[in-house]
Amino acid sequence: MKTLFIAARSDPEAMAAMFRAELPGHDVVTKAPGDRPVHYAVVGKPLPGTLSSLTGLELVLSLNAGIEHLLASGEVPEGVPIVRMVDPGLVEGMVEWVAAQLLAWHRNLFVYRDQQAAGEWRQHGELMARERVVTVLGAGALGGPVATMLAALGFQVRTWSRSGRAVAGTATFGGDDLAAAVAGADALINLLPATAATTDIIDAALLARLAPGALLVNAGRGAAVVDGDVLAALDAGQLSAAVLDVFRTEPLPADHPFWAHPRVLVSPHVAAPTHARTAVAVMADSVRRHERGEPVPHVVDRSLGY
């Protein structure tokens, strides 16, 4: 009998019950079983030493789409595949969250909120979605559906990815074409993974290429953004607002200037939470495929870091 160890820190017992229903015939445990091998480990952000103490690992099933912390820990042996979380609940969450932020900004709700605080009744010219260009950085499991949804709302959407992956209804740009992908864009949505190649990618030079008064939305990872450059662009009016869900240090430190900036909206890494209701089915499917000797989807390419 193969053992699946849920090393998740939040409500592992509830998840264990779901796994037992999905994978009868497996030993599903929520505590490391001592000397016995663990074939599958389900992890979010495991405490240091959790993974390195296990033997017999065949798959690491990540509860998160971003896995940079697992690679950085060095605790997953080279030959053991890490499977990223790609599931319908995560996609739906991200699509909703980005739509909410972009539409709120597009229809001037941030401006009207400030006017309400001042008791000011003043109407602004409203643009149509078709008059706005939105660039989505990252065209993967999350960036692709987000871009498709924004195009369906009528925005002129561009996507940028390493391979120039095609996304229906959008203008697609590849690795070398970042400058063209963001040129004159009214909104920039970051959905890139955290890798060496994406660190500090949203800097002063890139922000200067956007249309004046653009919106920045970061739902990828905090390390993509040069915080000081975003603050400078906001103060100069090059950005009219920044909606930030992810940060270099989380929780965002109490003294970070993002907290108090009037044109920054901080949310506490909630854009696309993992829902066990959908995620367990996806992870169980990976286990079944592995046991049938079939390829398991969404295995991390360690050479690329995502």
Interface residues toward ligand NAP, by CB under 6 A: 65-66, 86, 90, 138-143, 161-163, 165, 175, 191-195, 197-198, 219-221, 245-246, 269, 271-272, 306
Shortest reach from residue 127's CB to ligand NAP, in Å? 27
The one catalytic residue in 84, 132, 209, 221 is: 221
Our answer to whether residue 256 is catalytic in this structure is no
Contacts of residue 112, defined as CB under 8 A and 6 or more positions apart, other chains included, come to none
Nearer to ligand NAP, 255 or 301 (CB): 301
The one catalytic residue in 107, 248, 263, 269 is: 269
Distance CA 23, CA 89 (A): 20
Which conformational region is residue 282 in: left (phi greater than 0), alpha (psi within -120 to 50 degrees), or beta? alpha
Which residue's CB atom is positioned nearest to ligand NAP? 140
Nearer to ligand NAP, 23 or 87 (CB): 87
Contact of 88 with 278, CB cutoff 8 Å:
yes
Nearer to ligand NAP, 20 or 305 (CB): 305
Degrees, nearest 5: CA angle 286-287-293 = 90
Q: Which helix (H) or strand (E) holds 83?
A: strand 82-83
Structure-token pair, residue 140: 């993967």
**Measured between alpha carbons, how far is residue 284 from residues 16, 120, 233 in Å?**
11, 54, 45
Q: Which helix (H) or strand (E) holds 241?
A: strand 239-244
Nearer to ligand NAP, 51 or 181 (CB): 181
Nearer to ligand NAP, 3 or 161 (CB): 161
Shortest reach from residue 201's CB to ligand NAP, in Å? 8
Shortest reach from residue 286's CB to ligand NAP, in Å? 15
Shortest reach from residue 283's CB to ligand NAP, in Å? 15
Shortest reach from residue 99's CB to ligand NAP, in Å? 14
Our answer to whether residue 69 is catalytic in this structure is no
Contact of 70 with 60, CB cutoff 8 Å:
yes
Catalytic residues: 221, 269
